[in-house]
Amino acid sequence: MGPLVLNTRPETDSADLVAALDARGYRHLSAPMLHISFPARQNPLDISHYQGLIFTSANGVRAFIGLSSERTLPALCVGDATARMCQEAGFNSVHSANGDIHDLATLIRQKVMASDGPLFHPAARKTAGDLGAMLRDDGYEIDRQTVYEAIASDELPEDVLTAIRRHHIDAVLFFSPRTAETFVKLVQSYKLEGDLDRVNAICLSPAVQSKISDLTWHRTHVASQPTQEYLLSLLGSVVTACRT
């Protein structure tokens, strides 16, 4: 049997990941640490005075295309997966950073001028990092509006609890600081801290890794680039090394 991997991503973001795990022969369980809600909006979005759009997640794209038919403004995206969603939605001009909010800030500086007007950032209420603060000294005005909610999970599925307690899980995948933080809180609430010492934590970035440092793992690992492809490549290296 293939290694057993725990996916902590929200369901809305997991389709490509699950397909990739299946293609690589992994067994997998899911414990979404965030549940995505797209609340109804009373008034349509008015984005006529913005020079471009900022997307820090695929869910931001999903929310935006349900609220506006605008596809001509430049879309400045945190990474390739978000950029692909923009392209599939019909945006004319799509630019992708390397998967990190700091890279996105650099991309914005390169692609648009602060003097050309404000940028619209459809996002969740809580985000990883503050783009507005990062770019304020450069003169950029970023209007971040909440268009969806990422609600932290308050429980672990029974099959996941059983697998952790029986030490069946080989690796846990973490894609964001908030999912990692939520996982830690749930592990502590279920008193599972002693059941992860044989498990590898596979993290998208150092910021994600920092959120799981309170738990005792077999090892924690960080992808060399903050993309799903690099994370899966790292996963393959880790589980191969553990089984040889």
If phi over 0 gives left and psi between -120 and 50 gives alpha, with beta otherwise, what is residue 103? Answer: alpha
- What per-residue confidence (pLDDT) applies to 173? 98
- What per-residue confidence (pLDDT) applies to 243? 65
Q: pLDDT, tens digit, for every residue of 142-176? A: 999 989 998 999 999 999 999 999 999 999 999 98
Sign, CA dihedral 201-206-211-216, equals positive
> Residue 104 has which token pair?
């996105």
Average pLDDT over residues 215-236: 93
Final residue of a domain: which of 148, 179, 196? 148
Residues 116 and 161 in one domain: no
- What per-residue confidence (pLDDT) applies to 241? 73
Q: pLDDT, tens digit, for every residue of 58-115? A: 999 999 998 899 999 999 999 888 999 999 999 999 999 987 888 999 999 999 999 9
Final residue of a domain: which of 119, 148, 177? 148
The position carrying tokens 């973001």 is 13
128 has a pLDDT exceeding 70: no
- What per-residue confidence (pLDDT) applies to 143? 94
Calpha distance 110→242 (Å, rounded): 42
Residues 103 and 162 in one domain: no
244 has a pLDDT exceeding 60: no
49 has a pLDDT exceeding 60: yes
- What per-residue confidence (pLDDT) applies to 239? 85
Bridge partners, residue 149, by sequence: 37
Number of domains in the chain: 2
50 has a pLDDT exceeding 90: yes
Residues 142 and 164 in one domain: no
- What per-residue confidence (pLDDT) applies to 41? 67
Final residue of a domain: which of 148, 170, 185? 148
Residue 102 lies in a domain: yes
Residue 105 lies in a domain: yes
- What per-residue confidence (pLDDT) applies to 30? 97
Using alpha carbons, select from 29, 34, 26 the residue that is nearest to residue 9. Answer: 34
CATH number for the domain harbouring residue 158: 3.40.50.10090
The residue range of the domain holding 182 is 4-35+153-242
Residue 225 lies in a domain: yes
- Look up the pTM and report it: 0.85
Name residues whose C-beta falls within 8 Å of residue 9's C-beta, 6 or more positions apart in sequence: 17, 30, 32, 33, 173, 175, 179
> Residue 128 has which token pair?
């990883």
| CA dist list (Å): 141 to 23, 58, 134, 137, 237 | 43, 22, 11, 10, 42
Q: pLDDT, tens digit, for every residue of 181-214? A: 999 999 999 999 999 999 999 999 898 999 999 9
Helix (H, G, I), strand (E, B) or coil at 136: helix
- What per-residue confidence (pLDDT) applies to 100? 81
What are the E-state strand segments in the chain? 4-7, 27-30, 34-37, 52-55, 75-77, 94-96, 119-124, 142-152, 171-174, 200-203, 219-222
Residues 55 and 144 in one domain: yes
Residue 41 lies in a domain: no
Residues 106 and 139 in one domain: yes
Q: pLDDT, tens digit, for every residue of 17-43? A: 999 999 999 999 999 999 999 887 657
Whether 199 and 218 have beta carbons less than 8 Å apart is answered as: yes
Calpha distance 173→30 (Å, rounded): 10
